[in-house]
Structures are given as C-alpha cells and as structure tokens.
Amino acid sequence: MSTTANPTIDLGPGAHGGADHHDHAHDHDHGHHTLTGWRRWVYATNHKDIGTLYLWFSFSMFITGGLMALGIRAELFTPGLQFWQPEFFNQLTTLHGVIMVFGAIMPAFTGLANWMLPLMLGAPDMAFARMNNWSFWLLPPAAALLIISLFVPGGAAAGGWTLYPPLSLQFGMGMDLAIFAIHLLGISSIMGSINIITTILNMRAPGMTLMKMPMFAWTALITNYLLVAVAPVLAGAVTMLLTDRHFGTHFFKAVGGGDPVLFQHIFWFFGHPEVYIMALPAFGVVSQIIPTFARKPLFGYHSMVYATASIAILSFMVWAHHMFSVGMPATAQLFFMFMTMLIAVPTGVKVFNWIATMWQGSMSFETPMLFAVGFVCLFTVGGFSGLVLSIAPVDTQMHDTYYVVAHFHYVLVAGALFSLFGAVYYWLPKWTGNMYSERAGKFHFWWSMVWFNVTFFPMHFLGLAGMPRRIPDYPLQFTDFNAIATVGAFCFGLGQLFFLYNVIHTIRGGVGKAPANPWDSPTLEWEVPSPAPHHTWETPPDEALVKKGLVAQALE
C-alpha cells in the first residue's frame, strides 16, 4: 500500500519499489528535506508542514469569511438597500458562517494540534502521517466548492449556516455545492480527529500518563472525541437534505409526511457539541499560556480536566435550547433550560481556575498573555449572555435577534479567535526561530480588543430592542448601533492585516533569533531547538527530562 504513496518516491532513480521502504527508514533525517517546492507541501506527511498548511489555509479562509462579514456590515451601515440584493445578502451571511466555522476556526485548531501535540507529547509525528496529508488536502477543494457556489446559477446557499429546510430545499445548485463541501469538510474532520486521538492515546513520552499531559492535549483529546461523535450526524443531516432535494425523499417535507423540525433536532445535536469543538481547544491554549506568564503551575489541573469532560458530556444534552421558539412541550422546554444552565457550572470552574492560576503569580503581559487574559474577560461576558439566553422565557425575546449574534461572536471571536492569536504569538518563536515584535503584537491585541467590542457590544442592545438576525435592511430605530458596529467591523478587519504583517515580519527574521525556550515554560515543546527542526523526538525524551517538566508543572 505504501510504496506508491511514499513521499520519497520523487527522490530520483532507485528510490522506488521495495527499496523505497528501506531508504525511507534509514534516510529519515534528510529524506524529507530534499522534497522542495510544491512537492514538499502536496506530498507533506510531516506534522509540522501539515500544521503549517492548516494554519495558512485557515487564515486565508478567515480573510475570505471576514471580507464577507464586511460586505454584510457595509449593507447594514444605514437603513435601506445600498449595495446588495437581499438574496445576495443572504448568501453572504450563509457563506460567512460556514466558512468561519468550518474553514477558519476548526482547521486552525486542527493545525495547532498537528504542530504542537507531537512536540508537547514527545512523539516523532502524528500517528497516521499519510492520512494526515489526506485530511488536509480535502479542505482546499471544499473551500473551492463554497467559493464557486457564488457564481453558479441561482447563487450560493442562502439559508443561513444552519441550512434549515424547507428553505434550503428551494435553492439552486449552490446548495448542493455547499452540501458536498460540508461532506468533504466532515470527512477531513473525522480523519483529523482519529489521528489526534490516536496520537494522544498511544504516543506520549514515557512517564507522561494521561493525567500528566499538558492541558492543551486534554482539550484536544476531548474535542476530537466530540468531533468523531457528531461530524457523521451533520453528514447524515445534509445527506437527507440532498435526497430530499433530488431523490424524492420526504424527511423534511411536510407534504410527504416529513417534519421540517426534525432537521433542526439533528442539526443541533451536531451543532451544540460543535460549539464546544470550537471552544474547548481555546480553553486548552489559554491553560498553557496563563501558567507560563503567571510563572505558576496551572491551578486545579484535575478539576480542569473534569470540567472539560463535563462540558463535553453536557454538550450532548442541551441542543434544543437553540429551538426554544419552535414550540416544544413545556417539559422539554424546562429540561433543556435546566441542562443549559448547568453548563455554566463547569465553565465557571474553568474561569475560576484560570484566575486562581493568576492569583499570587508573577505575571508579565507579553502578547500571548494579553490575548489569554482578553480571552478570559470576553469569554466570560459571552458566558454571561449565554446564561441570559439559557433562560427559556427570556430567550423568547432574544431568539433569532442580534443578541444571539452578539453572544456567539463573543465566544467565537473573542473566545476561539483570540485564543488562536495568543497561540500563534506564543509558539511563533518555536515555529520560525525568530521573535516577533512585542510592540507590534501588543498593538494588534489592543486594536483588536477595542474594535471587537465596538463591533459586537452594541449588538446586545439591538437584540434587546428586537432587531432580527439575517435581515439586509432594518427599521429606523436600529440605525445608530448598526452604524457603530459597521465602523467597528471595518477597523477590526483592518487590524487583522496587521496580524498578517506581524507573522510575515517574524518569519523574515522578526526582532532577532528566538532561544529554545523564550518563555521559560516547562512543557516539552520548549526542549527542542528554535526553530523546531523538521524531525523532533525521533527518540522519545528520556524519563528524567519528562519528569523535570512534570515537576515544574506540579504534576509530579
């Protein structure tokens, strides 16, 4: 099986057939290095290269989805229709959601896991290096399908990222392209998850038991269990949409005895764990950064693990809180309200533990720490609005209004995205071997922090006052806050180009060479040189080294 797929096949005459394996085995150190140009990336099996691919892919999707967001905000600057026809506006909101969730946030965390897990666990690579290549390379075609769908007759899917039927049964082939894109993204996610789970369970350094691994590995493990559980559910839901659209089934068509609400139940059974798929890795990143810059071990490691697991389990029991207005019986309404409120408990435990980690520390505020603290502040605000939304009667007023938009942008932008920025600044020295400019990083943080709030905080007021989501035009009383949000969005977007500049500047040398362990952090990834060589931990770290790190993390 492996001979044809072996990346060393292009090395030249003689490097094929049976000899190939042998070659590969003892050529380990330079074999991969000789793959240059596009081959290095297309045939990539190295976890660092694939991690890099994931991260750049996700950044380009972030910019694409961001431009769509700016298209949305531009239209909403003043009342009336200025730029887009309403149907194109709906396509923008739909693609913005799909691209940001499946194209930007999720691949970014998979990329981080790819880059960092083997380094942090003391493993030479991911468990399934070839499958890793395949999971990444499914993403660009999926993204291409989504972009192409804008240009097909009838335009892209315009039913919102939730794709509710019967509306989603009405669209043209743009919807089919979106369905196939989701299939591809789902397959990619499932393979990526299997890879991550296997790596974590089987490839840890000697002496590093599960309860001693870095918190980032824990959140990655739990996240990817969630993903394996729910990605097939989404695939099933969109497949049913597809057969309803083209093959005469009636899963969601009332005329044939189907139930449109069934789709919502299936979608949110995927969708709610999905929320935590995007949030848990962020918790992991923050749990690495805060102890490092507080110069103190993470407080309550065990309760952090249990809290993460509880959130994951509870996430399967709260889906219908997205559906409080479909008209469920009172008992269901009450059950989902209570379960949803319960999630506040483990989430609160995490926040308290982070604060206890900072307490009596010796904190310094380099850019990663700023993003981590920014994350804790704004994620908490997002958690508060989530608590408000969990109260079913209050949700009657908020459902499908801008309050919900504000809420999930607080947890996804200030939550997931800020943690990703923190992670990039934290690990850039390891990735590039260079230090980023601290001044530039801090500027990026403060700029993002200010404009994020200018963009999204007013949306709470809009939602309270009753402005529905996904409308291209609005009544006059909503004008002021929409104008403010639009200004904020454009400034926030501009700031992300500055982030791109920071990263490129660092790759090109930054402000100087990075030491192996610039933050004086005890986890294993800092034990290898900076930049991390192409192959690391080919021989597992010895137990004494692992133990030293664990002692410093107060895990032993």
Partner 1 sequence: MRFSRVCALAALLPACSFANINGRYNFQTPQTLIAHDINNLHAWIMGVIAVIFVAVFGVMFYSIFKHRKSSGHSARHFHENTTVEVLWTLIPALILVVMAWPAAKVVLAQKDTRDAEVTIKATGYQWFWGYDYLDYGFGYKSKLATPREQIENYKDQGQAKGEHYLLEVTEPLVVPVGTKVRILTTSNDVIHSWGMPAFGVKQDAIPGFIRDTWFKADRVGTFRGQCVELCGRDHGFMPIVINVVAKNDFKTWVDKKQKEAKAAADDPNKVWKLDELIARGKTVYDANCAACHKADGAGGGPFPALAGSKIANGPIAGHLGIVLHGKGAMPAWQGLSDTEIAAVITYERHSFGNKMTDMLQPKDVKAARK
Name the one range near partner 1 by CB under 8 A: 45-53, 216-224, 256-264, 517-525: 256-264
Does 259 interact with partner 1 (rule: CB under 8 A)?
A: yes
Answer for which of 12, 37, 393, 512 binds partner 1 (CB under 8 A) is 393
Closest to 119 measured CA to CA, from 423, 374, 420 = 423
Q: Choose the catalytic residue: 48, 350, 399, 430.
A: 350
Which phi-psi region, left, alpha or beta, contains residue 357 (left: φ > 0; alpha: ψ -120 to 50)? alpha
Does 341 interact with partner 1 (rule: CB under 8 A)?
A: yes
Q: Choose the catalytic residue: 223, 292, 315, 347.
A: 347
Q: Choose the catalytic residue: 193, 287, 401, 523.
A: 287
Nearer to partner 1, 172 or 518 (CB): 172
Nearer to partner 1, 232 or 361 (CB): 361
Nearer to partner 1, 355 or 500 (CB): 355
Torsion angle in degrees (nearest 10) through CA of 396, 399, 404, 405: -150
What residues are paired with 401 via a beta bridge?
A: 468
Does 272 interact with partner 1 (rule: CB under 8 A)?
A: no
Rounded Cα distance between 441 and 422, Å, is 10
Residue 96 catalytic? yes
Rounded Cα distance between 436 and 509, Å, is 8
Q: Choose the catalytic residue: 272, 409, 444, 460.
A: 272
Nearer to partner 1, 185 or 389 (CB): 389
Rounded Cα distance between 367 and 30, Å, is 35
Q: Is 16 exposed, middle or buried (0-12, 13-18, 19+ CB in 10 A)?
A: middle
Min dist CB 401 to partner 1, Å, is: 7
Nearer to partner 1, 201 or 345 (CB): 345
Does 483 interact with partner 1 (rule: CB under 8 A)?
A: no
Residue 272 catalytic? yes
Rounded Cα distance between 109 and 113, Å, is 6
Residue ranges in 49-108 that form contacts with partner 1 under rule CB under 8 A: 79-83, 85-88, 90
DSSP tag of 531: S
Min dist CB 330 to partner 1, Å, is: 4
Residue 322 catalytic? yes
Structure tokens, 546: 């692992």
Residue 161 catalytic? yes
CA distances to 12, 41, 45, 50, 431 from 35, rounded to whole Å, are: 11, 9, 11, 14, 19
Does 477 interact with partner 1 (rule: CB under 8 A)?
A: yes
Does 32 interact with partner 1 (rule: CB under 8 A)?
A: no
Answer for which of 65, 103, 122, 159 binds partner 1 (CB under 8 A) is 159
Residue 326 backbone dihedrals phi, psi, to 5 degrees: -80, -15
Rounded Cα distance between 24 and 26, Å, is 6
Nearer to partner 1, 14 or 327 (CB): 327
Does 211 interact with partner 1 (rule: CB under 8 A)?
A: no
Residue 189 catalytic? yes
Nearer to partner 1, 194 or 471 (CB): 471
Of all helices (H) and strands (E), which one includes residue 365? none
Q: Choose the catalytic residue: 469, 505, 513, 548.
A: 469
Answer for which of 385, 437, 455, 482 binds partner 1 (CB under 8 A) is 385
Min dist CB 512 to partner 1, Å, is: 21
Residue 125 catalytic? yes
Closest to 223 measured CA to CA, from 162, 137, 311, 348 = 311
The CA-based angle 414-417-421, given to 5 degrees, is: 110
Does 249 interact with partner 1 (rule: CB under 8 A)?
A: no
Min dist CB 356 to partner 1, Å, is: 7
Structure tokens, 415: 């939550």
Q: Contact 270/231 with Cβ under 8 angstroms?
A: yes
Does 406 interact with partner 1 (rule: CB under 8 A)?
A: yes
Name the one range near partner 1 by CB under 8 A: 111-119, 293-301, 444-452, 534-542: 293-301
CA distances to 206, 222, 225, 282, 549 from 219, rounded to whole Å, are: 20, 5, 10, 8, 19
Answer for which of 377, 454, 487, 491 binds partner 1 (CB under 8 A) is 377
The CA-based angle 369-423-363, given to 5 degrees, is: 15
Does 333 interact with partner 1 (rule: CB under 8 A)?
A: yes
Name the one range near partner 1 by CB under 8 A: 142-150, 248-256, 271-279, 427-435: 248-256
Answer for which of 141, 260, 518, 529 binds partner 1 (CB under 8 A) is 260
Block residue for tokens 């379960």: 339
- Coil vs helix vs strand at 207: coil
Does 170 interact with partner 1 (rule: CB under 8 A)?
A: yes
Q: Which residues are catalytic?
A: 96, 125, 161, 188-189, 272, 274, 276, 287, 321-322, 347, 350, 469
